[in-house]
């Protein structure tokens, strides 16, 4: 049943159409579960790609949550996905929470049927709503399982599943406070290693920038970040006065307004961009980066070695972006500005850093030391070691 179609083909399927495993000599069969955000989905796809690179015949099935972004993003990457009807607990008191145990039981039951039909050699959980039912169903059937935790503060699902799985791949030191130490492997987060391959000369030409002037890159994620956008819009006159060039990734929702705000500054190379598809070139062009502190953003900044100012989103579970940022700032590898203070002080810090090449170099050196360029291959090494009688 493995998908060999081109990315962009939509293949989310009903589990009844899954082709059962029929032979012990069949190719590897792997289920990867979880999602909800890009921070879960992109590592999952990276793991699948590495399995498929080593074993082109491997059968890989994703299991996600119906209505969540993985149900479109995974098929775009060229893999089959099955959806479970599962959602998280609401933080406020709501009647929906009364239905939560019923939804979990139904999701575990459906996950069990998927597993019995697909008969995976191993299961990977990357966090998110769908991960728990699949891991529960798999481990109750003695199927080897691995979880991958992206953040420095472990997610609820991964914490709950930790004692049921054989391997826990993490991106930060000190995760034994959440997980059994004997199952931990420090691997880093899977990110596209080509993100660090951009060449500055090509990048400046691609974005139409001046090689003689500094470049600031602002990234708030694919959805954008309100605080970063408001602070950046207010700072446009200051950036022009300082001779700074700007690549401002606004996100879809904020782009129409940001485009109008940036229009009077177009001749000064202060550019509002809805989405940056060539992030390798954006990083290559940048002297300094302002970013949220999601796990994958932080991992990309480490890999590219960019002097960075992190502005953690306050709208995430357990304030985990602040914890991600602190893991860097405590090693003098990035600067931190709280979201509530960003409009007042963010661009003071950004302009100071842009004018301080010694500090830039110090941050760049320290953040590169935190990179794990072999993260994906290490995780897949650990995964394949779990499969009995594995084929090399």
pLDDT tens figures, 25-67: 568 999 999 988 878 898 999 999 999 999 999 999 999 999 9
Supply the pLDDT for residue 2. 42
Instruction: Return d(Cα 298, Cα 284) in angstroms, integer.
Output: 16
Q: Are residues 182 and 213 both part of a single domain?
A: no
Q: Are residues 123 and 212 both part of a single domain?
A: no
Buried b (16+ CB within 10 A) or exposed e, 362-379: ebbebbbebbbeebbebb
Phi-psi region of 34 (alpha: psi -120 to 50; beta: other; left: phi over 0): left
72 is in an annotated binding site: no
184 is in an annotated binding site: no
Q: Are residues 27 and 160 both part of a single domain?
A: yes
Structural domain for 252, as ranges: 194-368
> Is the confidence at residue 112, as pLDDT, over 70?
yes
Instruction: Return d(Cα 250, Cα 59) in angstroms, integer.
Output: 38
Average the pLDDT over 14-25 and give the result.
Answer: 57
pLDDT per position as a tens digit, 254-295? 999 999 999 999 999 999 999 898 999 999 999 999 999 999
Is 83:64 a contact under the CB 8 Å cutoff? yes
112 is in an annotated binding site: no
pLDDT per position as a tens digit, 66-78? 999 999 999 999 9
Structural domain count of the chain: 2
Average the pLDDT over 214-234 and give the result.
Answer: 90
Supply the pLDDT for residue 21. 57
Supply the pLDDT for residue 17. 60
Q: Are residues 21 and 93 both part of a single domain?
A: yes
Q: Are residues 248 and 357 both part of a single domain?
A: yes
At residue 115 the predicted structure's pLDDT band, cuts being 50, 70 and 90, is very high
344 is in an annotated binding site: no
pLDDT per position as a tens digit, 156-196? 899 999 999 999 999 999 999 999 999 999 999 998 888 99
Q: Are residues 305 and 358 both part of a single domain?
A: yes
Which CATH number goes with the domain that contains 299? 3.40.50.2000
294 is in an annotated binding site: no
Other CB atoms within 10 Å distance of the CB of residue 28: 21
Q: Are residues 291 and 174 both part of a single domain?
A: no
Sheet arrangement for strand 215-219: 270-273, 245-249, 215-219, 288-291, 308-310, 335-336
192 is in an annotated binding site: yes
How many CA atoms within 13 Å lie on the side-chain side of 142? 1
Supply the pLDDT for residue 10. 38
> Is the confidence at residue 302, as pLDDT, over 60?
yes
Instruction: Look up tokens 């990110």; give the residue.
Output: 191
Instruction: Return d(Cα 138, Cα 216) in angstroms, integer.
Output: 46
Q: Tell me whether residue 391 is in a domain.
A: no
234 is in an annotated binding site: no
Q: Are residues 228 and 183 both part of a single domain?
A: no
298 is in an annotated binding site: yes
Q: Are residues 173 and 38 both part of a single domain?
A: yes
Instruction: Return d(Cα 266, Cα 260) in angstroms, integer.
Output: 10
């Amino acid at each position: 049943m493995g998908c060999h179609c081109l990315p962009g083909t939509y293949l989310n399927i009903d589990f009844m159409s899954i082709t059962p495993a029929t032979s012990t000599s069949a190719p590897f069969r792997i289920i990867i579960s979880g999602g909800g955000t890009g921070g879960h989905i992109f590592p999952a796809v990276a793991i699948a790609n590495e399995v498929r690179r080593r074993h082109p015949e491997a059968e890989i099935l994703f299991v996600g949550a119906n209505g969540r972004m993985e149900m479109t993003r995974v098929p775009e990457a060229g893999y089959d996905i099955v959806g479970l009807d599962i959602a998280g607990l609401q933080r406020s008191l709501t009647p929906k929470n009364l239905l939560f145990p019923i939804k979990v039981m139904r999701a575990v039951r459906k996950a069990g049927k998927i597993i019995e039909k697909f008969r995976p050699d191993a299961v990977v959980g990357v966090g998110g709503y769908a991960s728990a039912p699949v891991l529960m169903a798999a481990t109750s059937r003695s199927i080897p399982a691995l979880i991958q935790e992206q953040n420095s503060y472990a997610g609820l699902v991964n914490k709950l599943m930790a004692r049921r799985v054989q391997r826990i791949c993490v991106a930060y030191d000190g995760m034994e406070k959440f997980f059994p130490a004997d199952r931990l492997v420090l691997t880093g987060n899977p990110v596209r290693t080509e993100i660090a391959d951009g060449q500055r000369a090509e990048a400046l030409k691609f974005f139409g920038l001046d090689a003689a002037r500094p470049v600031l890159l602002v990234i708030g994620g694919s959805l954008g970040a309100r605080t970063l956008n408001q602070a950046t819009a207010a700072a446009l006159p200051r950036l022009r006065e300082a001779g700074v060039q700007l690549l401002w990734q606004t996100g879809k929702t904020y782009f129409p307004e940001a485009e109008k705000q940036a229009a009077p500054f177009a001749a000064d190379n202060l550019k509002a961009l809805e989405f940056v598809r060539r992030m390798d070139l954006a990083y290559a062009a940048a002297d300094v980066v302002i970013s949220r502190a999601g796990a994958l953003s932080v991992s990309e900044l480490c890999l590219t070695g960019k002097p960075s100012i992190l502005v953690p989103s306050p709208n995430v579970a357990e304030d985990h972006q602040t914890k991600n940022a602190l893991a860097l700032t405590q090693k003098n590898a990035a600067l931190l500005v709280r979201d509530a203070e960003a409009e007042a002080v963010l661009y003071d810090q950004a302009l100071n850093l842009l004018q301080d090449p010694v500090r830039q170099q110090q941050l760049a050196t320290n953040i590169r030391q935190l990179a794990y360029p072999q993260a994906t291959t290490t995780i897949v090494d650990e995964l394949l070691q779990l499969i009995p009688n594995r084929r090399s």
